[in-house]
Amino acid sequence: MDPVVYIKYYEFFLLPVYLFLFFWITKWLVKKYYADSILKKFLYLGLGAKMFGSIAFALMSQYFFKEGDTFMYFTGGLDFKNFLFTKFPENLDLLFLPAEEYGNFYKLNADNVNNFGYMSSMGNLFTAKISGFFSFFSFNGYLLTSLFFGLFAFSGMWRLFIIFSKIYPELIRHCSLCFLFLPSILYWGSGIMKDSICLGAIGWLFSSFYLFFVLKKKNWFLIVMLVTSAYILYSVKVYIAFTICLVLAIWLIVNFFSSIANKLVRRLASVVTFFFGIVLLVVFSDDIISSINNEAVLLISDTVMGATKNYEIVNVDAGSSLSNIGDIQPNITSIVSKIPIAINNALFRPYIWEARKLNILMSALENMAIMFFTFYIFIKRGFITTFIKIFTRQLIFFCFIFSILFAILIGLTCFNYGSLVRYKLPIMPFYSFMLVLLYYTDKAGKVIV
């Protein structure tokens, strides 16, 4: 059976028109916000690179791979839009229907049997809704809809670039590489995928948090974007929302203590909080340990073992498997023993000799460069000095703790290179810029370029 052609012929004629429109709007933004700024160059280059990534992902998916989740989201979005407006406003309640109920509705009313079951997932359904919304502006075309996904992802990464480049203007080119021009971000984070939505939402969430809580800019728009982006992340990938919100909450506490002007009071407050925490741990230690052993550890181990079994069932390519996690037992010792392997898998794999496909090779080359840079920093700057800098500089600490926590989650539950290179995307900009800061700043945080 021949693969379905989702890219319509008319999209190739409309593509230059859409690109012209996007760059025309960008030109207006440049005149309004960046007329006399070096940032305008990066805005044009970054948008151009992102649009190239969106087009490349769409063409590769259609004509080379000819299958993938991207088509499920796209066709699911078209179906959702058709359901909504075929009987409007009767079907308006579909907007708020739980995923499981919508999945049952979809099976009864849709003809696309390939999507049956997938629309019962909250993340899949939400991504399909976003695709359906963007298809309004793209004449139901797969290629043109991909451009809007890339545009949203770029908006979030641009916000991060703006924040970090203003903090470290001397490192603006390094910052652009980390947030705008990483190959994996340009390719995997530019198509009709959950990853594109997550990149955009992470950028808006972090930038709004930083401006509102750290720089104290009281703006209702920032609050709206905080809530909206957190909701988007929760709807698409719950674990990303929980991870980044946990790390931001930790940063908020650290920032609170750092904001105390009196050095003696700051240290006293820190000591009191520390000992208060120790007292709570001692008092409730039995309950905490019991909870960890009976619930959290079992949940983690079940998740890991379930992911392993699912992968073993559907995997047909042994060369694409991350098989070095091994068996994991339902106890905290077993889980902790796997953490170093999980972090290595998420940050540095696939290795270059493990790449069997062109798109995986691209990620493998990127991983190799990041791994070498990581080792070089520890050797050049010193192991102890590097870790002192990590735990004494707020931005570096945030990048580190988010990258490590997320790497543990991904490394423990992902066993396929194709999935890994996509799931690790949120780590890449933060981890790579953390390396830049570790190398190009001194202990006091001053740039030493």
On the question of pLDDT at 317 being above 70, the answer is: no
Summarize the confidence of residues 161-186 as an average pLDDT: 94
Cβ pair 198, 237 in contact under 8 A: yes
End-to-end Cα spacing for the chain: 58
Q: What pLDDT score was predicted for residue 162? A: 94
Give yes or no for residue 149 having a pLDDT over 70.
Answer: yes
pLDDT digits (tens, 9 = 90+) for 102-134: 999 999 888 888 888 889 999 999 999 999 999
Mean per-residue pLDDT of the chain? 84
| The pLDDT of residue 177 | 95
| pLDDT interval class at 136 (50, 70, 90) | very high
CA distance 291 to 293: 6
Say if residue 296's pLDDT is above 70.
Answer: no
Residues with Cβ within 8 Å of 69's Cβ and at least 6 positions away in sequence, in order, are 193, 194
Q: 31-65 pLDDT, tens per residue?
A: 988 887 889 999 999 999 999 999 999 999 999 88
Answer with the residue of higher pLDDT: 135 or 284.
Answer: 135
Rounded Cα gap, residues 311 and 322, in angstroms? 10
Q: Determine the pLDDT at residue 269.
A: 61
pLDDT at residue 308 in the model: 46
Per-residue confidence (pLDDT) for residue 92, from 0 to 100: 85
Task: Please tell me the distance from the alpha carbon of residue 49 to that of residue 182, in angstroms, as a whole number.
Answer: 10
Of 141-145, 276-280, 381-385, which one has max mean pLDDT?
Answer: 141-145
Res 303: pLDDT:
47
Say what the pLDDT of residue 266 is.
Answer: 59
Return the closest-CA partner of residue 106 out of 121, 96, 122, 117. Answer: 117
Cα dihedral across residues 198, 200, 206, 212: positive or negative: negative
The DSSP annotation for 125-168 comes to: HHHHHHHHHHHTTTTT-HHHHHHHHHHHHHHHHHHHHHHHHHH-
Note the helical H segments in 259-331.
263-283, 285-291, 297-314
The model's confidence at residue 359, banded by pLDDT at 50, 70 and 90, is: confident
Kindly report, residue by residue over 58-104, the tens digit of the pLDDT.
999 999 888 889 999 999 999 999 998 887 777 788 888 999 999 99
pLDDT band with cut points at 50, 70 and 90 for residue 329: low
